[in-house]
Amino acid sequence: MDVAGAEPDVLAGLDLKRHRPRVILVEAVNPNNPNADVAAWEPALLTSGYEFAFFDNLNHYYVANEHAALKSRFPASPAPWD
């Protein structure tokens, strides 16, 4: 999800009880605000049965609780960008 700061609104519009993506990726570093606070939208995912899985220095990845085994597929650390 890359919605330039509209993450809370987009997540509020999702019915995560009906539609259960295995993995949700949210761009967490906004080029217009590199210090963007995930606290504005992350609680909506966590309370909807998703668990933080990985941060690649740009995106946050969340895995649905019912697919928790997928978390082991993420690398231990992000690849270098250089």
Dihedral angle sign, alpha carbons of residues 54, 16, 38, 30: positive
* Token couple for 61: 């990845």
Per-residue pLDDT of the chain (82 residues; tens, 9 = 90+): 777 778 888 888 989 999 999 999 998 886 666 566 788 889 999 999 999 999 988 889 999 999 999 999 999 998 887 5
- Provide the whole-model pTM: 0.85
**How many helices, marked H, and strands, marked E, lie in the chain?**
2, 3
